[in-house]
Structure 1
């Protein structure tokens, strides 16, 4: 399948560049998605952050090199992208539990993390609930956006929501979100960028709600054109299974619009949903 081929080509690229510079933008382009979405997709599927996977592979090969060669430790450190013996030693010891210099001793234990590969696992015992929503009108959202560094998005976005609770933005959005319901997308929304292809070093993360009235002066407006959406209950679970189980076999592909995480009010079932923009293949 095209999706699996792209993902495994990415892994091949990483493997061939462990001794050099790995370009995260190029990785995302090879996977045909944004840096942020690829990082999220990778961690959801593999259970490990992309940066952590690359670090483990580099230090696995470094361990092999130390045991098989007489090369200087500093030369091996530089080979795998570390600019000092100290930084390499700390990373090596964190992964392997011993110092690089100790790895040459007879009988020591090291850890080897092999190259991973992506496959579709067919499971018939667990259904994946979804529905298709066709919104034939423009979504007009109001809220606030913050710049997020792409490579740090996983850490920065939760902190943005924590800040929204403290500064009153969350309460303001709640007060606005249930006025004049127009569609099922009525809740607190997290929108990543303005299009799927986020290739810059940073992007705007929008926290808002759907609202048709005149916005308060301190809130921004974001519009999303009419589109079809695949909607999944349970955001965390949906992210884990979206790319491995649903997209490859659904007959749909992702549209060039942002995914939306929707958090609903008290008493709503489910409590949250992932809205994914799609188009038929």
Structure 2
């Protein structure tokens, strides 16, 4: 898997002056575009589109400063921009300064180093997981659109849960009739970049097979498929966020599965003081292309 990811990185470097399609990179890595984007952001710590932009502007910045015989418009065209204005906006977004000013003043620019994925021997502690085949089901509860937060509490989710009220939560909990049992948090419609601050649909509800959920509740239909279920316990919420990271940086590269489109389901049981949690994380998966 790492070798194929590195082949995709080489493709990026060879085509910085052209439009780079995530679908082409996914084909090189022999996986789906959906899984490739998620795997990349988990391993690299930034979205694929942002990495490509930074690499493109890193190389373009070297030409702006080092090749004064080439006009700025020539540099812009070389890296796929039809106008100097569009190039200048992208340049400023990465370097904090426009290309013209950078060339005049010899300003210090930012450099995004090339990414190379290497095997690091970690994994001394085994991850607890199981594979579950589930028939189609529904998530039923209350839904809100919230921002994605990678580390620390998510204030928008916390405020949303507080707004539901205990009686309403009890009514929703009574609808649970299958695993994962009880109240769960469900994340759906995440931005492909997985960038912090992008928005997602968050459901606070239950998993149920009911054909007719109450009309005053939100419902999400989930098709049948395979789920990888991971167990974790530790400090809240860090252990839960690290679990998601470890699934994509350790479990997927070591197993013949890829993520597939679908919601992520998190079941959490907090200690009385709210400082620690036991959790189950359900991720929709499928056998990877090469397995």
Of 102-111 and 41-50, more deviation after overlay is shown by 102-111
Q: Does 1:47 align with 2:45?
A: yes
Q: Look up the match of 2:178.
A: 182
Contact 2:180 2:267 (C-alpha < 8 Å) held by counterparts = no
Of 83-92 and 159-168, more deviation after overlay is shown by 159-168
Contact 2:269 2:277 (C-alpha < 8 Å) held by counterparts = no
Q: Does 1:26 align with 2:24?
A: yes
Q: Look up the match of 1:245.
A: 250
Q: Look up the match of 2:70.
A: 71
Q: TM-score, normalised by structure 2?
A: 0.68
CA distance in 2, matches of 1:141, 1:222: 7
CA distance in 1, matches of 2:181, 2:155: 24
Instruction: Report the count of equivalent residues.
Output: 261
Write the mapping of 1:1-281 to structure 2, written as runs, cut at 5 A.
Answer: 3-31=1-29, 32-35=31-34, 37-66=35-64, 67-104=66-103, 108-123=107-122, 127-135=125-133, 138-142=136-140, 175-177=171-173, 179-190=175-186, 192=188, 207=203, 208-213=205-210, 214-218=212-216, 219-225=218-224, 227-233=226-232, 234-250=239-255, 252-254=256-258, 256=260, 258=262, 260-264=264-268, 266-267=270-271, 270=277, 272-278=279-285, 281=291
Contact 2:144 2:160 (C-alpha < 8 Å) held by counterparts = no
CA distance in 2, matches of 1:39, 1:154: 16
Distance 1:258 1:98, change over 3 A: closer
Distance 1:81 1:166, change over 3 A: farther
- Please state how far the C-alpha of 1:65 moved relative to its aligned partner: 1.6
CA distance in 2, matches of 1:97, 1:123: 37
Structure 1 spans left out of the alignment, 5+ residues: 148-152, 194-203
CA distance in 1, matches of 2:10, 2:165: 44
Contact 2:184 2:266 (C-alpha < 8 Å) held by counterparts = yes
More helix by share: 1
Contact 2:188 2:262 (C-alpha < 8 Å) held by counterparts = yes
The SS at the match of 2:277 is: coil
Contact 1:261 1:272 (C-alpha < 8 Å) held by counterparts = no
Contact 2:57 2:91 (C-alpha < 8 Å) held by counterparts = yes
Distance 1:88 1:175, change over 3 A: farther
Superimposed CA distance per residue, residues 90-119 of structure 1 (whole angstroms, 9 cap, x where no aligned partner): 442443344322444586433322221112
For the aligned residues, what is the CA RMSD? Answer: 4.1
- Please state how far the C-alpha of 1:53 moved relative to its aligned partner: 1.0
Of 55-64 and 166-175, more deviation after overlay is shown by 166-175
CA distance in 1, matches of 2:179, 2:213: 19
Q: TM-score, normalised by structure 1?
A: 0.70
